[in-house]
Structure formats: C-alpha cells, structure tokens
Structure 1
Amino acid sequence: MARIAGVDIPNNKRIATSLTYIYGIGTYRAQEICTKANIDPETKTRDLTEEQTRGIIGILDKEYQVEGTLRTEVAMNIQRLMDIGCYRGLRHRRKLPCRGQNTKNNARTRKGPKGRPGGKK
C-alpha cells in the first residue's frame, strides 16, 4: 500500500479512487490532482513510480489542506461559532441541527436516543 498524507491508500484501485481515502479529497479533487501531476486517473496505484508519488505528495502539501490540519480547522471553526454565541454556535452547543431542519419529529441522529419517562425497568 502506498502511503500519502499519512494514509495507506489501496494498491488495487485506480489512483483517482485511491486518493479519495484521504480526508478532504473527493472524486473531483482527486481528478484535479491527477491532472496537475500529469497522471492518468485510470492508472492503478501499484503502477505509480516513486517520482509520481512524490509529485502527488508535493501537490497535496502546497495546495490543499487534508487530514489533521483540515480536521483541526473545521473543529476550530465550530468552536469559534460557539464562542461568539451566534445561532449556529448555540445549535452546535445544544447538539441540534443547525441548518434549518425540523426537530419536532425527526433529528434523532443529532439529538441522540429518546429519554424514556419511566426509565429502564
């Protein structure tokens, strides 16, 4: 398995598909990276040369935030919203949906399991 951005990507898949195993890279971005690195997206990961792998790593380091840095930035953005006390921050703090979804009937994933009135018997 090739290791790019701290993630083991599968050898038996196309490079464009393998790159999507990295947090922050979807199918469009994977195609974009392959184009910038002059690699055919249909190429299997195991067929990449060391130079091509270094090219992909260089592009990721220079142009994109992936894995740990992206996760910390997202967490810091949510924390900033909670600190300033805006509506979205309050919704995050209360663990409720913050994009306008109804919560009267659904939103069980975000709210967690129902609190049973009698408790467990």
Structure 2
Amino acid sequence: MTQTEFKHRIRISKTDLEGKNPLEYALQDMKGIGRAMARAVIRVTELDPKQQAGYLADEDVLKIESVLEDPATHGIPSWMFNRKKDVYSGLDKHLIETDLVLTVQEDITNMKKIRCYKGIRHELRLPCRGQRTRGSFRKGTSMGVKRKK
C-alpha cells in the first residue's frame, strides 16, 4: 500500500478509531473490546497486529466487523465473551459499544426494580462490591466533622 491510502480515522462497528495506532491498540479503543479480545479478533482475521489501523483495506474492516458481530462462529471461545448466559436469551454473547452500555443500564434498572441488595445500593449511589464506606464515597449529603472555633 502507498502512503496516500492512509486514513486518519477508520470506522469499525459505528466507532471511529485512530488510524495512527497499531491495529491491536486501535481495537481496544472500542467499548467492550479488551486486550484479549482484540488479539483474538486479529488472530482470527489473520491481520498484522503491528500494522497501523489507517492502512486497513475495506475488506479487512468488513472481516473485523463480521468477527465482532458473531465471534462464536469464527472460533473465538465463549469464555472470552463479556455476557455469558444472557438472562433473556440464555446465549453467550459479546456486546460492544452502545449494545453494551444499554444492556448494563437495563440490568441496573432491573436490579432496582426487584429491590435486590445491589439494586438498593445503586439507588443510594453507594458501592455494591463490599468496599468500606466510612472514609470513602462521602460526596453529597454527608457532613464532615465540625471543628470548634
């Protein structure tokens, strides 16, 4: 490829990625794609991870998008997916970008609705994972210690 075919921004799955970054790191800029998934996608599509993303051909972009849409059919193991045993469908899925954000919001809303412990903690804007709250998470209505004058 020549230098003139370089694209400063490439669009993969409704996301603009920097063309100057190596492909492995450019894919990690997408929400829901981490280091392991980016490497798996590159391995399946047989692309060079060190190649700058701006030099990708349109066919390569389509290959990457097809792998991201349904990674299971391309041989990526289900333990790498970010949504195992979906509540509604029962399938293992890998969600990216807006699908991931909307699904997480829906899960939190559902937890609030059924009034489970995590849902109540989300409503109160407190941590859900067992952190101590004596010194942390004190923003908002909580008062500090008042000093004598």
Whether TM-score is above 0.5 comes out as yes
**Poorly superposed stretches of 4+, deviation over 3 Å:** 111-118
Which residue in 1 is equivalent to 2:59? 51
In structure 2, C-alpha distance between the alignment counterparts of 1:35 and 1:112, rounded to whole Å = 47
Cα drift, residue 107 of structure 1: 2.1
- Quick check: which one's helix share is greater? 1
Unaligned runs of 5+ in 2: 1-8, 72-93
In structure 2, C-alpha distance between the alignment counterparts of 1:56 and 1:115, rounded to whole Å = 51
Alignment of 1:102-117 (within 5 A): 102-108=132-138, 111-112=139-140, 114-115=142-143
Cα drift, residue 53 of structure 1: 0.8
In structure 2, C-alpha distance between the alignment counterparts of 1:85 and 1:93, rounded to whole Å = 9
Residue 62 in 1 paired to residue 92 in 2? no
Distance 1:4 1:80, change over 3 A: same
* Paired AA for residue 8 in structure 1: D
* Paired AA for residue 49 in structure 1: A
Which residue in 2 is equivalent to 1:15? 23
SS of 2:28 mapped into structure 1: helix
Q: Percent identity?
A: 29
Q: After superposition, what is the alpha-carbon deviation per residue over 1:9-64, rounded to whole angstroms, capped at 9, x for unaligned?
A: 01111001001111111111111110111112111112211111110011111233
* Paired AA for residue 47 in structure 1: Y
Cα drift, residue 114 of structure 1: 4.8
Unaligned runs of 5+ in 1: none
* Paired AA for residue 124 in structure 2: R
Alignment of 1:77-116 (within 5 A): 77-108=107-138, 111-112=139-140, 114-115=142-143
Aligned length: 116
Q: Cα RMSD over matched residues? A: 1.9
Which residue in 1 is equivalent to 2:34? 26
* Paired AA for residue 21 in structure 1: D
